[in-house]
Amino acid sequence: MEIKIGVNNIPRELSIETQATADEVEQALRTAITEGGLLTLTDEKGRRVVVPAAQVGYLDLGKEHSRPVGFGAV
């Protein structure tokens, strides 16, 4: 799934591709906000993105990818 993160006072948004579900990402943000900590997400290549939870302006949770089955054309 593609996730776009809007960070306060930063004109560009962060965009990452991750295997996490929308519910997992939302829960990670809720936990980070309540603990006053960092939102940490891992992308598909294993890189970590760390953002101070208090600075997150918005999360745009894209459509979750479904794995194609068989040999059909895309």
pLDDT in tens, 3-37: 999 999 999 999 999 999 999 999 999 999 999 89
Alpha helices in 1-74 (DSSP H): 22-34
Phi, psi of 41 (to 5 degrees): -125, 150
pLDDT at 64 over 80: no
User: Domain-by-domain residue ranges, the chain?
Assistant: 2-61
CA distance to 3, 7, 27, per residue, from 31 (Å): 17, 17, 6
46: left (phi over 0), alpha (psi -120 to 50) or beta: left
